[in-house]
Each structure stands twice: as C-alpha cells, then as structure tokens.
C-alpha cells in the first residue's frame, strides 16, 4: 500500500496546529470581531487540512496503482 508524500503530511499537521491555535485564540478573544476573525482562520485551516487529507489519500492510491502496474 502506498503512502502520502511526507511534505503533504507535514503541511496537514501544520494546518491542524493552526486550527487548534486559532480556536483557542477565538475563545480568549477580547471582542466579537476578534472572535470571528480567529474562527474564520480556524475554519480555513480546517478546510486546508481536509484538502490535504484528500490529497494524501490520492497520493497513496496513486502509489498503490503504480506499484501494482509496475
């Protein structure tokens, strides 16, 4: 079975950390505007993390297909 590219995994981990940090900032934000800003950033990081997960799955599948065909 194939594996995702290590860089994809690192980028996904970074987005996961960003999401967590931004959610914590949103909880501690002094104003509603700041809360919304941090929530949007967290949502974006979550979206990117999901897209990177999908990319990793596609990479793993491509590696598996190449190994089977090769």
Give mean pLDDT, residues 39-68: 92
Q: How is 5-64 classified by DSSP, letter by letter?
A: -HHHHHHHHHHHHHHHHHHHHHHH-SSHHHHHHHHHHHHHHHHHHHHHHHHHHHHHHHHH
For 19-48, the pLDDT digits (tens) are: 999 999 999 999 999 999 999 999 999 999
Whether 1 is in a domain gets the answer: no
pLDDT over threshold 60, residue 2: no
Give the orientation angle of helix 6-28 with respect to helix 32-69, to 10 degrees: 160
pTM to 2 decimal places: 0.84
- pLDDT category at 1 given cuts 50, 70, 90 is very low
Whether 39 is in a domain gets the answer: yes
Q: Which domain holds residue 52?
A: 6-69
Provide the number of structural domains found in the chain: 1
CA distance 28 to 23: 9
Whether 15 is in a domain gets the answer: yes
């Amino acid at each position: 079975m194939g594996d995702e590219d290590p860089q994809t995994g690192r980028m996904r981990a970074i987005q996961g950390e960003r999401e967590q940090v931004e959610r914590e900032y949103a909880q501690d934000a002094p104003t509603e505007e700041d809360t919304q800003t941090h929530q949007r950033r967290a949502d974006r990081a979550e979206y990117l993390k999901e897209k990177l997960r999908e990319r990793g799955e596609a990479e793993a599948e491509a590696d598996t297909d190449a190994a089977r065909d090769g």
